[in-house]
Structure 1
Amino acid sequence: MRILSFICAVVVVLGLLPSPARAAPALQPLTHLHHTAWTAQDGVPGQVVALAQTPDGYLWLGTPNGLFRFDGVRFERFDAIAGESLPAKSVLTLMATPDGGLWVGFMTGGTAFVRDGRVLRTDAAQGLFDMSTRRFARQRDGTLWVVTGRALLKLVDERWVPVSTESGYVATGRVGSMDLVVDPADNLWVASTQGVYVQAAGQARFQPVAVRDLNFSALAVDPQGRVWASDTDHGRGIVRLPRPGVAGDRADDWHAAPNSLFAPAFDAQGRLWYGDSEGLVRAPVPGEAGAPERLTPDQRLSGDFVMNLLHDRDGSVWVGTNGGLDRLRPARVARVDFPRKASQVVMLGGRDGTVWLAARQQGLLRGAERAQPVATGLHESVTAMMEGADGQLWLGTSDGVWRGRPGGRFEHLLPPAERGPWRGEVRAMVQQRSGAVWIASNNFSLFRVDAGRWTYLASRNGYPPGPPSCLAVDGRDRVWLGYSDGVLLRVDENGQLTRWTAAQGQTVGGVKALRVVGDHVWVGGENGLLRVDEQGLRVIRARAPGRLEGLSGVVETADGDVWVNGAAGIAHVPAAELRRALAGADPRVEAELFDTLDGLPGRAEQMDTSATALQGPDGRLWFSLTNGVVTVDPARLTRNTRPPWTAVQRLSAGGRDYPGQAALQLPAGTRDLQLDYTATALAMPERVEFRYRLVGLDADWQAAGTRRRAYYTNLAPGRYEFQVLASNEDGVWATVPGTRAFEILPTPTQTVWFRALCVLAVLAALWGAYALRARHVRGRFRDRLQVRMRERERIARDLHDTLLQGFYGLMLRFQAVAAGMPAASASRAELEAVLTHADEILLESRDRVTGLRELPRPESLVQTLLSFGQGLAQGQATEFLLSEQGAPRLLQPWLHEEVCFIAREALCNAFRHARATRVGLCLQYGDEAFRLSVWDDGQGLPKQVLAEGARPGHWGLAGMRERAERIDARLLIERREGGGTQVLLEIAARRAYAPAA
């Protein structure tokens, strides 16, 4: 224990850093501050002997097990932050620098300087640092000092130089130097076993400070810039040291501690915080009333020995103990102290400004920071209160109603005896301007007492059968009644009842609270807040689920803000939010919530309770909770306007962690990763909210709530940057995001070249498939063509062997008949002409039969069509014209015959039916298509034929269309402008033309 005491005696904290973040409602008792303790179960690495806060907001902990960083949620060992190690493990002292760095001193000697997770400087534990490094100090110009167990050192040209005795500083013995500080005037103070020395600003020599019998001293600076030294050996407590250059200034004892005083530190008000062997102590400033307050392990302090103290920039006090770490910060609400633990507290605001409280089994109390009991002579618990028009208090209990004045005698009031003995508790009471008092109780339901006459208001009078849960009177002397089954009732001056239920818009469920404000009434219900006025009933709900539910207390302040006491805690709705909700279609509002994090010792009472919220004459709001009463002063509430500093702590992928914030390359094949991020808002980290995005993937910010980890899956190779923003407990968002850039390298199969090869391979495969398909189609076409040729040859043989041979025989016989006729006979001449024509037909038939046996010669297309057209025109008055456009090209052999047939049929139709003077044929050899057109200047096709596509009983046009479809050609038959008809046949070039030889 002596060794531990020795260590703690030389460990002191950084100076106080004032914060504009928030102001306490008043001086709160030490036990009323919001207290959080972390021990080994929460990740604290044992004893916390040193504390420091860097400008980025991180809290640093020095322990015998190493250096740790704390963001309010997670404890991180330094070597895990960026993978670098310190030269030693046991940390004894810390000092943050304005540039974001941190000086570290070790129990075994030596120093290190770290910044951004990197160790930038180390000084070996030998020579000048052969004993423990105890305290750092920094002057305005950046000059650094450090005390070790043996010497005082100054950093000169990046080398630690010991201060010699010629400078006036003396420290002898194995444990010579103890502590040092720099005051606001830039004076350097050093404590040693020989006393305290000061080097005035701008001076080179040290001067001894006139103070007696100080040993093992720790130094601290108060808000006025005065330096104090604690006596850890003689029990003198703490002594103010005389200021250099101030004539007549002498040492001044202040606090005589019963035990040794360790780690002294002053808060912004000048109160002294220190540790001793029993716990934490806060002493009032000189002249301030009250005794020192104490926090011990019995009150959840993490250890019984305070080793270090730090006041951070947000106004919190951090305490390092031999068992862990504690945080004490001002609660946003002030708790009211009762003589003993209070529950089911009834409240009443008197017209004289007094706030009356009545707690279960504690009687009547006068409200103040410490509730004061008031004699009433009552033995039952007060369950409801009301102030009468004459100033007397009406107290409802389980045995009836009592009326009287505080400190005097109370009269017992009961209904007539015929109602039977009183049973049940009084739930609510209210008085009209007329003097009538309405009383609601559990057993008798509802009474009205007027001039001593009790009237029972039963369900037969139109009232609901059960008792109302709350009562109120408005400015028109109308009585409002709320029921737990959701009925809202109003009794007018003439006794007329107006009822609202869910069918009439009362949709907030069971009524728990009524508050009349001017021309409107607020109704607190199980499921929301309701406003009733001349415009009807309008429901107000919170955007955050649950914040406006279970409302048993409602208060509207002079500025129009509404405060409610509900199941989730105390909710504050600004007037601007209410105006917007009441004027628009969206009834949801932003509601600020106060809960246990703000110091609430419970939640609003929900069962059989009077109104749980009221406003005192000084503007303070009073709220009754399940475990006591708290007050909130809206005028003293301040907001934390400092946005939190955000950072990405580590990236994890493929089972490996990448700490730090430097850009990195992830291995090829990385698809899934995890990012841990944080924000340094140490006061209320539970309320810090985040939003993030991954640049390169996310189009918008993603709301993460309070979660501090992001996951991404199935990421493609590429460059990304993760960005994260945070808001503090008051919703102030950071403007500069924490970032982490990274690149995922592609696998060989994810490169651009590989993808290009894949595209080429697919194209090659498609081309190959097309080529195979084309070969297959050509093969099938050849097979079909061969079948067709064999069929043509069979038909040709049959025609030759039967029809032609028979026809030829007939011709021979007719020739014989003609030869036997007289030469000058007209019949012989006519018969010979017929035989000549028949011979021509036979020749043509022979050619046709020959054509069936072999494919036609493509080069004969023009000649064939020319001869055919001239033959049709012979002997007629119709002129035949043929023209060609483009370089003549051979058609596919299998198309030649079909084209010829279509052309012949079109020419025949023109010569036979058109009554034309001219018939033309045009062949166009285009690069995109082969076109054949037959035209005439005749009478044109009838519209009916064009519409139906054929003449009744004729098949020429139908055959042309069928052949065109068979060769995949486009056939168009239309009337020409100026008279006549045109037949157009069009075949795609890739199908029409034969390959070049």
Structure 2
Amino acid sequence: MGAWREGLEKRGGLDKYENGVFTNFAAKNQITSYLVTSIFKDRDGVLWIGAYGGLTRYKDGKFTQFTKENNFVGEEVYAITQDFSGNLWFGTEDGLTVLRDGFFQNFTTSDGLPHDEVKFLLETEDQTLWIATRGGLASFKDGKFTNHSELPQIQIRSIYEDAEGTLWFGTYDGGLIRRKNARFKTIAVKDGLHDNGAFQILEDDFGRFWISSNRGIYRVSRQELNEFAEGKRQSVMSVAYGAEDGMLDAECNGGTQPAGFKSKRDGSLWFPTQKGVVVIDPKSVSAGSQPTNVVIEEILIDRKTVSHQYGIEILPANDSLEIRYTGLSFVKPEQIKFKYKLEGLDEDWIDAGTQRTAYFSHLPPGDYVFRVAAANVDGVWNEQGATVKISVKPPFYRTFWFLALCIIGAFGLVTIVFNSRIRNLEKAHAAQEEFSRRLLASQEQERQRIAAELHDSLGQELLIIKNWALLGLRNKTDSSEQLGEISETASQAIDEVREIAYNLRPYHLDELGLTKAIESMLDRVSKSAKIAFASEIDLIDGFLPKEAQINFYRIVQECVNNIVKHSGATEAEVKIKRSDGILRLSVWDNGQGFETDSLALKRAGQSGFGLAGISERARILGGKLVINSANGEGTVVNLTINSKDL
């Protein structure tokens, strides 16, 4: 076998192991270089030795070297194999070389290879030659190269075909790759492998793969690998071996062929390492069938150890929970794997790997059972595991009684709000009914007033005109006196009609505008009443929409009428000011005043709409009405209207 040794410059070459003894088989001057990289024995018993510098053949006790001088292209030979036809294939840094019928032929990227540096060769049962290069994977069949671009361009270090014809590719750091039915599946550390390196893949007689890497040698069941690749399991179990198991160095060699082999004589497995050869007897490694016992060692709440013999209780003030557990085994205890779940919260197991601590924080209130299970190095699980009961107490605001009080309080609050809303609606409805009653009463009073005026004034005047006319007809001599009476009475009737029409709709409002209409109304009242009226009125024409002007006029009119009829005042003042889109009305008198409660307001409006009518008209105008009054202190009515609210 080729071996790397300290002091290669002194000895080197090729060593032979026989009857338990290593002897130097080929020295530097017999082979192309003392740096041996590959070795292969063909079906005729001829030994082929690859090394830096070229190729060497050992046949019938004689060494023959092949270099560029005798048509062998490669100077560094990494892999050697023989196909079913007896042809020899050599993987070199300068391409793939075949020895056929005594002649060498070299293939490179120009012939279809993905890269010229060929690292591993294997011909499978279907007579396909698989070629691992530095730039990817290729295959050769029926004289044609095929590049497998569906596989990532990773460094493939080994290729193995199992008894079922499935291909397995070992990589430098890309995990183990399975090819079955022309489909590739990668299996890596995240899936349960000990390492992503797979320098050599050897299968023992028990269906277990032994794989070398930079972090030691690990074994894994081929059945588990297949089940994982087919989606029948979530992960695989791998068992690692290193210095603690007797290896002088856990770092294995790879990158040339072979990087290990299986003895046909006794089934032992040989792997090269940085400090010599490791030999494994798979028969001495029995699968462990005894499940690993699991114990919970310690529980910490907020980093303080608590007793857990009868379970633990977590209070609302506690934040963190830490559970430490372990598995009891004398066989590779450091490789025991765990899984746990918090029953009542977790539906599935949580894969903890080799971690021996579970952390929880801010658990919701409730009763739980923490369960942890363990698997030995051969993947036998102790599903019963170890358990501990956990009770998480809720804060007071999440207790039943507090929630019940909240529900009762909320129900009471809703009831209060509902009842208040009902009362407000009833008040609003009552106010609306009162307003409607007053409106109907006011309309009826207005009809009565108009009827009375027509009957008592206009009707009487017309009756007088009729009587004077009849008297003039009877007195056929001189009727001038009767005609004069008729003329005077007719004038009075006309004035009465104008007064009635003015009260119904002041014609000044349409003919002269709002400002003149209000001034005319105040002038008439001032002349007819015993109250000294003063006024300051800005020009307000155009401030209010036409349909709103009558409401503002009626407000002023109602305020003045209330002063005349009810106040007993000797002085009064009306101010109307307009500035910056704001219209302000102020009506003042020095009369007897009144209490501005609902009863007083009701009494003040008994003759018509009264103050209620003023308030309703102010609301229609979008204005703000304020009435200030008290017994013996007079009254002030203020109305503010913003043009933006119209």
Query: Match of 1:783, SS?
Result: helix
Q: Determine the C-alpha separation between the residues in 1 that align with 2:123 and 2:10.
A: 26
Offset at 1:638? 1.1
| Match of residue 592, structure 1, among 235, 238, 251 | 238
1:487 to 1:499, Cα distance in 2 relative to 1, 3 A: same
* Higher alpha-carbon Rg: 2
Could you tell me which amino acid in structure 2 is paired with residue 413 of structure 1?
Answer: F
Tell me, yes or no, if structure 1 residue 385 matches structure 2 residue 39: yes
- Aligned-residue offset at 1:386: 1.3
Distance 1:591 1:508 in 2: 27
SS of match in other structure, 2:362: coil
Higher helix fraction (1 or 2): 2
Q: 1:447 aligns with which of 91, 94, 97?
A: 97
Counterpart residue identity of residue 374, structure 1: N
CA contact 1:550–1:566 (8 Å) conserved in 2: yes
Would you say 1:801 and 2:472 are equivalent positions?
Answer: no
Q: CA deviation at 1:384?
A: 1.1
Q: 2:389 aligns with which of 741, 745, 753?
A: 741
Tell me the distance in 1 between the aligned counterparts of 2:352 and 2:402: 38
Q: 1:531 to 1:737 in 2, by over 3 A?
A: closer
Q: SS in structure 2 opposite 1:404?
A: strand
- Aligned residue identity for 2:79: A
Residue 49 of structure 2 corresponds to 395
Counterpart contact for 2:237–2:379, Cα < 8 Å:
no
Tell me the alpha carbon deviations over residues 829-858 of structure 1, each in whole angstroms, 9 at most, x when there is no partner: xxxxxxxxxxxxxxxxxxxxxxxxxxxxxx
User: Matched residue pairs, number?
Assistant: 452
Q: Decide whether aligned partners of structure 1 residues 436 and 769 sit closer, same or farther in structure 2, where only a CA change above 3 A counts.
A: same
Inter-CA distance 508–531: structure 2 relative to 1 (3 Å threshold)? farther
Q: 2:369 and 2:113 mapped to 1: Cα distance? A: 67
Taking a change above 3 Å as real, the CA distance of residues 697 and 556 of structure 1, as seen in their structure-2 partners, is: closer
Distance change (3 Å), C-alpha of 1:409 and 1:712: same
Aligned counterparts of 1:557 and 1:426: Cα–Cα separation in 2: 28
Deviation readout 1:608-664 (Å, 9 max, x if unpaired): 422324221122222334444323333332122232222223332245321452445
CA distance in 2, matches of 1:649, 1:587: 30
CA distance in 2, matches of 1:340, 1:369: 21
Letter in 2 for 1:431: Q
Q: Alignment RMSD, CA only?
A: 4.3
Query: How do residues 465-504 of structure 1 correspond to structure 2 at under 5 angstroms?
Result: 466-474=116-124, 479-492=129-142, 496-502=143-149
- CA deviations on 1:771-808 (whole Å, 9 max, x unpaired) are 33333333333333333333222222223333698699
User: 1:677 corresponds to which residue?
Assistant: 325
**Within 5 Å, which residues of 2 pair with 1:342-491?**
362-367=12-17, 372-378=22-28, 380-404=34-58, 408-416=61-69, 424-432=75-83, 434-442=85-93, 444-463=94-113, 466-474=116-124, 479-491=129-141
**Residues in 2 aligned to 1:401 and 1:337: alpha-carbon distance in whole angstroms:** 14
Shift in alpha-carbon separation, 1:433–1:676, aligned structure 2, 3 A: closer
- Give the letter for the 1:512 counterpart: R
Tell me what 1:691 maps to. 339
Where does residue 886 of structure 1 map in the other structure? none
- Contact conserved, 1:338 with 1:371, CA < 8 A, in 2? no
3-state SS, counterpart of residue 96 of structure 2:
strand
Counterpart secondary structure, 2:136 = coil
Q: Can you list the C-alpha shifts for 1:486-543, whole angstroms capped at 9, x where unaligned?
A: 1313143xxx2131321xx44574433234567847352534555667x535445357
Contact 2:178/2:184 (<8 A) preserved: yes
Say if 1:672 and 1:711, in contact at 8 Å, map to a contact too. yes
SS in structure 1 at match of 2:384: coil
Judging changes above 3 Å, is the alpha-carbon distance between structure 1 residues 516 and 704 closer, same or farther for their aligned structure 2 residues? closer
Relative contact order, CA 8 A, sep 6+: which one is greater? 1
C-alpha distance in 1 between matches for 2:361 and 2:341: 14
Q: Report how far residue 455 of structure 1 moved.
A: 3.1
Deviations 1:117-137 (A, max 9, x none): xxxxxxxxxxxxxxxxxxxxx
1:416 counterpart SS class: helix
Change (3 A) 1:621 1:697: same
CA distance in structure 2 between the partners assigned to 1:524 and 1:577 by the alignment: 16
Distance 1:467 1:694, change over 3 A: closer
Q: How many angstroms apart in 1 are the aligned matches of 2:127 and 2:405?
A: 89
Deviation per CA, 1:673-694: give whole Å up to 9, x if none: 3222222235433222223333
* 1:392 partner letter: V
In structure 2, distance between residues paired with 1:805 and 1:370: 147
Measure the CA separation in 1 of the matches of 2:339 and 2:152.
35
Aligned-partner residue type, residue 609 of structure 1: T
Contact (CA 8 Å) 1:530, 1:537: kept in 2 or not? no
1:553 counterpart (200, 224, 227): 200
Separation in 2 of the partners of 1:429 and 1:360?
Answer: 27
Residue 37 of structure 2 aligns with an amino acid whose one-letter code is: T
The equivalent of 2:360 in structure 1 is: 712
CA distance in 2, matches of 1:384, 1:339: 12
Matched with 1:541 is: 187
Residue by residue over 1:739-775, the C-alpha shift from the partner in whole angstroms, topping out at 9 and shown as x without a partner, is 3335455665554333333332222222222233333
CA distance in 1, matches of 2:315, 2:445: 80
2:66 aligned partner, one-letter code: L
Aligned match of 1:235:
none
What's the secondary structure of 1:635's corresponding residue? helix
SS at match of 1:438: strand
Residues 513 and 552, structure 1, Cα contact 8 Å, conserved in 2: yes
Q: What is the 5 A alignment of 1:846-925?
A: none
8 A Cα contact 2:250 2:273, kept in partner? yes
CA apart distance, 1:383: 0.8
TM-score normalized by structure 2?
0.59
Structure 2 gaps of 5+ residues are 463-646
Q: Distance in 1 between matches of 2:302 and 2:394?
A: 15
Q: Is the 8 A contact 1:404 1:410 kept in 2?
A: yes
Aligned to 2:552: none
Equivalents in 2 of 1:590, 1:396: separation in Å? 37
Distance in 1 (CA, whole Å) between partners of 2:234 and 2:400 is 52
Question: Match for residue 761 of structure 1?
Answer: 409
What is the letter of the counterpart of residue 636 of structure 1?
A: S
What's the CA shift string for 1:686-714, capped at 9, x where partnerless?
A: 22222333345444443333222223333
* Cα distance per residue 1:252-277 (max 9 Å; x no partner): xxxxxxxxxxxxxxxxxxxxxxxxxx
TM superposition shift of 1:402 = 1.8
> Aligned equivalents of 1:491 and 1:436: distance in 2?
14
CA distance in 1, matches of 2:232, 2:385: 32
Q: CA deviation at 1:667?
A: 5.1
**Equivalent position amino acid for 2:53 in 1:** D
Is 1:609 aligned to 2:252, yes or no? no
Pair 1:523–1:709, CA change in 2 (3 A): closer
Distance change >3 Å, CA 446–CA 704, structure 1 → 2: closer
Listed one character per residue, the Cα deviations across residues 867-903 of structure 1 (whole Å, up to 9, x for unaligned) are xxxxxxxxxxxxxxxxxxxxxxxxxxxxxxxxxxxxx
Work out the CA distance in 1 between the residues paired with 2:256 and 2:207: 26
Q: Which amino acid aligns with 1:387?
A: K
Give the corresponding residue for 2:482: none
Separation of aligned partners in 1, 2:53 and 2:194: 36
* Amino acid of the structure 2 residue aligned with 1:787: F
CA distance in 2, matches of 1:482, 1:411: 27
Partner of 1:786: 434
Distance 1:602 1:774, change over 3 A: same
How many angstroms does 1:567 deviate by? 5.7
Any stretches of 5+ residues in structure 1 without a counterpart?
1-335, 344-358, 814-997
Which residue of structure 2 aligns with residue 647 of structure 1? 295
1:69 paired residue number: none
